[in-house]
């Protein structure tokens, strides 16, 4: 079945450093979504990418969807302590299922 892997599993950074998480699917995706889950909380939607090669920005966050629509990345510039949490990608292929990636847990040290 469809699998969505994320790397790295964990990332510890000093405040102000950049952070990137990568998402790879075993199948071509129709779209990809990104979510953030704070410790003890529930996932909150960040963005959706649909087009091949699409790049979207939200302040310090940059999201990319690969040309082959099988991978995606989230890059955070100059991390802050408020960025702490687990970042998940989630994608759909030609089925109706929304499959979540394994997640990357980000810890930011002040």
Judged by the rule CB under 8 A, the positions of this chain that interact with another protein are 1, 6, 30-31, 33, 35, 41-45, 48, 88, 90, 92, 96-103, 105
First to last CA, the chain: 41
In angstroms, rounded to a whole number, what is the distance separating the alpha carbons of residues 57 and 93? 24
CB of 108 to another protein, least distance (A): 18
> What is the number of alpha carbons within 13 Å of residue 22 lying toward its C-beta?
6
- Cβ distance to another protein smaller for residue 19 or 88: 88
- Cβ distance to another protein smaller for residue 30 or 58: 30
């Amino acid at each position: 079945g469809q699998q969505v892997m994320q790397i790295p599993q964990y990332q510890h950074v000093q405040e102000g450093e950049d952070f990137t998480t990568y998402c790879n699917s075993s199948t071509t995706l129709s779209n990809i979504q990104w979510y953030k889950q704070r410790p003890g909380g529930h996932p909150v939607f960040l963005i959706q990418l649909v087009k091949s090669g699409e790049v979207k920005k939200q302040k310090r966050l940059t999201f990319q969807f690969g040309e082959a629509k099988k991978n995606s990345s989230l890059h955070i510039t100059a991390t802050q302590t408020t960025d702490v949490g687990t970042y998940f990608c989630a994608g759909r292929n030609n089925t109706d299922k929304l499959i979540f990636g394994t997640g990357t847990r980000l810890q930011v040290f002040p």
